[in-house]
Structure 1
Amino acid sequence: MIKFSILIANYNNGKYFKECYDSLMNQTYGNWEVIIVDDASTDNSVEIINSLIKDHSQFKFYHNSVNQGCGYTKRECMKYAEGDICAFLDPDDALYPEALEATIHEFIHKKDIVATYSQMMLCNDNLIPEKVFEKTREIYNDRYFFNCPTQFAHFFAFKREIYHKTSGINASLRSAVDQDLYLKILEHGNIRYIKEPLYLYRLHSNGISQQDAKQNAKESFAKVIHETMKRRGIQKINNKIVPEIFTNSREIYELLNYQTHKLHRLIKRIKVSLKM
């Protein structure tokens, strides 16, 4: 039976973890483990998590001695994972009960895929569903696909053996960590779209710090895309030269402007329909 590793990098999300935990305990698929790595939280996360998981051997809890950031902590999660299939779950989010079962089903019936992704449900601060994230769609994966503009996010699950064929999660990244992982995994095979929401994504109150975080993520994502272009040996994009050295995010995003044009999107939709 295929084993599923759910990976949780926690930092100061103790007040939300109970709903995350409950969603895992309610899964319809039984063969799973949860790897939690706490990044030196300053709230009561450790006490809350310990009190919930203490009687459940499927949960394994590790700690960073000092705060290391998202990239480092997610890489640590992968270090401890033993499952055939892995997926990250943020501690302030949750999964639908059938999330693991639906994902495993795809890997069983589509032997050639390296990953799956689903729709996700956007929720308010109380994790009450509001609407499906509308940008998620079926993609055509080639060396010029960078998930920019965003076409998939959660729930992303991947084969652990494929992860170990990549350079792994970049421990120095503090944002755009997931985007970097997506692009690395997609360089090794096909991906399957599950057209139903499996992931409950919590939208927090939109404060100034969140706006700053979004801008930092945009900058980090541009660096990730540039590194991906270099890793794939791409020297030109749509007849424009890829800069040898990253200087600013604007010139990277300008290279990909053509991917938002209607003709390009139409061609991609046709390619997607032909591969089905």
Structure 2
Amino acid sequence: MSKFSLLIANYNNGHFFEKCYQSLISQTETDWEAVILDDGSTDNSLDIIKQITQNDSRCKIYQNEGNKGIGYTKRRLIELSEAEICGFLDPDDALVPQALEIVLKTHEENKEAGLVYSNLIFCDEHLNPKSVHKGKQITALDESYYNFNGEISHFASFKKKIYKQTSGIDTFLKIAEDKDWYMKMCEVAPVKYIDEDLYLYRIHNNGISTNKNTEKALYWHWVALIKMAERRNVNIEDLFVQNYVSKKRYEHVTNTLGRVKNSRWAKLGNTLGLFKIFKYL
């Protein structure tokens, strides 16, 4: 049995998979399996992935009968995995070479921890690093654990025996299924943050929770939060009111900002170099 199961849910991302796979075969820890589940891709992703991994027995490839969604696919990946320690890796992303070695060492040193996670590196569409997003050690079931600011993020790995103490990944969730199971893991066992930059996160237009899908991801995050509130019998109504911005209010602010930007006084001030912030309006 492998030490670590890498769980890869694919939908139309085969054209990105080459760098993902290269990052796996470059790992300093070589005792791993990659469980790849295609969620009914409508392109040639499956053929590309099979071609890339053709001689590597560590890669096990499966396919859903039609498109089932990210929640179903990730839950099924856990069921298909063999290792006691697992972690999700998206096919359009990659790991730094020491990622698995560092994560496994941290799990070994923190046997009580159900979830181990690190920092991620935001990259452009070609996987060139742009900036680092730092995680945060969660010590209580407070607002940090709600994960508004990505306190828990990639590279997130877990002990399967502790994951099984939760209700598992919610198949109803279309996006933000990770926020849901992160919270569940915090509720049943301690979690451990590694202050290391282990995960290369690609930003591109078709990303499930980036760019054009950002607001959808926020909606599904709130669905996960409401389910958490029901599970723990806590009231998050005030929290929602504090964070919610109505469309009417948003449009009012946008229109006001537009009028300021287009006023002749603002343009004159910009010409004279008085408004350094003008270009950011």
Same fold by TM (over 0.5)?
A: yes
2:5–2:83 Cα contact (<8 Å) kept: yes
Partner of 1:262: none
Q: Deviations over 1:223-268 (max 9, x none)?
A: 101111111122x4xxxxx46xxxxxxx6533679xxxxxxxxxxx
Find the aligned partners of 1:56 and 1:200 in 2 and give their Cα distance: 23
1:138 maps onto 2:125 in alignment? no
Distance between the aligned counterparts of 1:2 and 1:78, measured in 2? 14
- Which whole-Å CA distance do the structure 2 matches of 1:256 and 1:191 have between them? 26
Q: Does 1:181 align with 2:185?
A: no
Name the CA distance, whole Å, in 1 between partners of 2:205 and 2:166.
Answer: 36
Asked if residue 103 in structure 1 is aligned to residue 103 in structure 2, the reply is: yes
Residue 170 of structure 1: CA displacement?
Answer: 0.9
1:273 is aligned to none
For residues 111 and 47 of structure 2, the distance between their equivalents in structure 1, rounded to whole angstroms, comes to 41
CA contact (8 A) 1:4 1:31 kept: yes
Partner of 1:126: 126
Give the aligned CA root-mean-square deviation in angstroms: 2.2
What one-letter code is carried by the residue in structure 2 that aligns with 1:77?
L
Q: Is the 8 A contact 2:155 2:199 kept in 1?
A: yes
* Alignment correspondent of 1:229: 229
Residue type of the alignment partner of 1:254:
V
Aligned residues: 242
Alignment match, 1:253: 240
Specify the SS of the correspondent of 1:153: coil
Q: How far does residue 63 in structure 1 lie from its aligned partner after superposition?
A: 0.3
1:137 deviates by 2.4
Unaligned 5+ runs, structure 1: 237-241, 244-250, 258-276
Cα deviation digits, residues 38-97 of structure 1 (max 9, x gap): 011111111111112221111110001211111111111111011111110000000001
Shift of the 109–182 alpha-carbon distance from structure 1 to 2, 3 Å rule, reads: same
Tell me how far apart the structure 1 counterparts of residues 178 and 221 of structure 2 sit (CA, whole Å).
10
Query: What is the rounded CA distance, in whole Å, between the counterparts of 1:59 and 1:227 in structure 2?
Result: 34
Partner of 2:33: 33
Q: Within 2, Cα distance between the matches of 1:151 and 1:253? A: 19
Provide the C-alpha distance between the structure 1 equivalents of 2:200 and 2:191, rounded to a whole number of angstroms: 21
Q: Deviations over 1:13-40 (max 9, x none)?
A: 0110000000011111122111110011
Q: Tell me the secondary structure at the aligned position of residue 12 of structure 1.
A: coil
The answer to whether the Cα contact below 8 Å between 1:10 and 1:90 also exists between their aligned partners in 2 is yes
Identity over the aligned pairs, expressed in percent? 40
Match of 2:266 in 1: none
Q: What secondary structure, in the 3-state scheme, does the structure 2 residue paired with 1:132 have?
A: strand
Which 4+ runs in 1 deviate beyond 4 A?
209-212
Query: Match for 2:120: what amino acid?
Result: M
Q: State the Cα distance separating 1:191 from its structure 2 match.
A: 1.1
Give, as a single letter, the amino acid of the residue that structure 1 aligns with 2:241. E
- State the match for 1:93 in structure 2: 93
Q: Report the 3-state secondary structure (helix = DSSP H, G, I; strand = E; otherwise coil) of the residue aligned with 2:49.
A: helix
Q: Which amino acid aligns with 2:202?
A: R
What's the CA shift string for 1:114-165, capped at 9, x where partnerless?
Answer: 111101111111101111115x222323266311233121111110111111
Please give the TM-score of this superposition, normalised by the length of structure 2.
Answer: 0.80
Length-normalised TM-score, structure 1: 0.82
